[in-house]
Amino acid sequence: MAQNAPFKVFSGTKSRYMAEQICKHIGCPLGEMNIQYFADGEFVVSYEESIRGCEVYLIQSTFPNADNLLELLLMIDAAKRASASRIVPVIPYFGWARQDRKDKPRVSIGAKLIADLLSVAGIDRVITMDLHADQIQGFFDVPVDHLYSSSIFLPYIQSMKLENMVMASPDVGGSKRAASYAKYLGTDLVLCHKQRAKANVVSEMKVIGDVEGKNVIILDDMVDTAGTITKAADLFIENGALSVRAFAPHAVLSDPATERINNSKLTEIFFTDSIPLRKQSDKIKVISAAGLLADSIVKCNQNESISESYLIKSH
């Protein structure tokens, strides 16, 4: 395989499991890196091999705590100072992204701040997956390759061969994603209209559409406390659905999410491995995104089109 430039793949601490799978798909070794911790929790990042003139791909999701983000920033800075030719963070889960606009006075726009931090640190482009909002791409002054988990979820949904299938969104905000799946699969679409009492607390929910006698597939971008998605699943069953399954790329799963999933009417819920699972459950299944990310790294290195592998061009 001809290469435009030599490239190396390195990993942050909490995403090493993902980086090892990516390297296995590519057929390259995972680069050697060392992180030294001081007694007060401060840490130093260093590369244990030369990266001068190399493209470096840094695998690290930036889910809380903030150490994961800071570790990535230090990896970028160290690569820049070690004369890497191009620095590309591969961020399966782009954390701190839920504040992407001013929805009330005197709040930060966290997603823009993170984009600025990464840019100032010295990146040349970004590869990420299923951003919380598409407009976050515009917060960067470098190219963003925005991947979609639909590339791996859609073939799996088709392989399930469910009859009377219908796509669903747990809220109106996710209707575009669910509509894209419904159009591709040739199914109907149903929505949930929810009202929140406050963040992470749903006060009321109603079904818009017909689910009676249907096998429902709920689509979301992430599951945090699982309040919305489990409430939606229970509501669909109450309205006559035969079964309810859910697909979401990012398993944030803050407590008591796993307990809610176990106690809900969900048959099963599928995530990618963009975030390591906090707790195991018989209802929670993981479909690896390592192949998708590995393919994108190779195509990025070869200056080939990444969008050609998308089953759905936008969500």
- Separation between Cα atoms, residue 29 and residue 20, nearest integer Å: 8
Which residues neighbour 227 within 8 Å (Cβ) at sequence distance 6 or greater?
A: 200, 201, 202, 260
Nearest CA-CA partner of 146 in 125, 167, 177: 125
Q: Which two tokens stand for residue 54?
A: 């190399």
Tell me which residues are annotated as active site.
194
User: Please, how many CA atoms are within 13 Å of residue 231, restricted to the half-sphere of its CB?
Assistant: 21
Which residues neighbour 269 within 8 Å (Cβ) at sequence distance 6 or greater?
A: 223, 229, 245, 246, 247, 248, 261, 283, 284, 285
- Separation between Cα atoms, residue 275 and residue 267, nearest integer Å: 22
159 Cα distance to chain centroid: 22
21 Cα distance to chain centroid: 16
Q: Give the N- to C-terminal CA distance of the chain in Å, as an integer.
A: 32
Helical spans, DSSP H, in the chain: 16-26, 67-81, 110-121, 150-160, 175-185, 227-238, 257-263, 290-301
Which residues neighbour 104 within 8 Å (Cβ) at sequence distance 6 or greater?
A: none
Sequential DSSP letters for 33-53? EEEEE-TTS-EEEEESS--TT
Please answer whether residues 300 and 147 qualify as being in contact, where contact means their C-beta atoms are separated by less than 8 angstroms: no
